[in-house]
Amino acid sequence: MKAVLPALARPLLEPHLPAGLDVSWFASPEQAREMIADADIAWVDMQPPSETAAAIAAGRRLKWVSTIYAGIDAFDLPWLKTMGTTLTNGVGINAVAVAEYAVMGMLVAAKRFDQVVRQADRQEWTIAPPGVVELEDTSALIVGYGTIGRLIGERLAAFGVSVTGVTRSGRDGTLTPDQWRARIGDFDWVVLAAPATRDTHALIGADEIAAMKSTAWLINMARGDMVDQDALIAALTARRIAGAFLDTVTPEPLPAGHPLWTTPNAIQSMHLSGRSQTRMFWRGAELFLANLSAFLAGNPLQNQVDLDAGY
């Protein structure tokens, strides 16, 4: 059985791999595409995601594909289903880092620390704080109350924020997908933490933005295409809502000259949330090894993706 694995993870993986596994270590997209043609197992995460997609498309006998990323929009799910390929993702690997980043974004927005930094860069001392909002006694709607969403909610609760989650099932007092829009005007923070699926495109559009409080912030930790960016730019320019903290946008990378760079009260964090940690590869290697043992033994895998649901 052949596995194609990242050379960067070799020191973490090689000492623990079972004897008899034929392993190819790739160090470039070209190597990944070449090696994967006859592979049974592949972990080929690369940036940009299109490189990952191209490598996977070159596989002709893949039985299991592993990724350290929670989002799987780089993968052709119908094709993997046709091939009979199992896909496992990295839900949980980046969850703490993303949750911390979301809370940081909300604190930055509440205190407008982005403006404080710019004033300091200009060496302008001020006694007038640009942001005076306290998180305590505010309310947050978290669309997507899975692993990351719950971690965000737990951390916000410690700041005295009232948290309402959105799940498909409406479990544990959360709202369902057909309930949250009617309530969006009740919240000071609208946080996107849902997986990207065919149902989440432009989840926040002109109507949803118009229904938000004028003092509310949109926090996008999910995917850029979940927001109608033209509608968001128009709303921010007209000061219809207070602002947006955007860890993800469309396209990525955001090109120079794109209106979002200069839209009033749009704070960019360039999809750095999940990468802002030191243990991503370590956690990814640990998960891969656990799943490899299960795969070879014919047992269920952790984080197996439902190829029909898309997460």
User: Which residues participate in catalysis according to the annotation?
Assistant: 223, 252, 271
Collapse the DSSP code of 73 into the 3-class scheme (helix H, G, I; strand E, B; otherwise coil) and give the result. Answer: coil
The encoded tokens of residue 183 equal 């309530």
- Measured in whole angstroms, how far is the alpha carbon of residue 196 from the centre of its chain? 9
The string over 261-300, giving b where at least 16 C-beta atoms fall within 10 Å of a residue's C-beta and e elsewhere, is eebebbbbbebebbeebeebbebbbebbeebbebbeeeee
The encoded tokens of residue 287 equal 């998960």
> Taking each helix axis from N to C terminus, what angle separates 95-111 and 147-158, rounded to the nearest 10 degrees?
40
Nearest to 152 by CA among 137, 163, 166: 163
Question: What span, in angstroms and rounded, lies between the C-alpha atoms of 268 and 164?
Answer: 25
The encoded tokens of residue 80 equal 């993997």
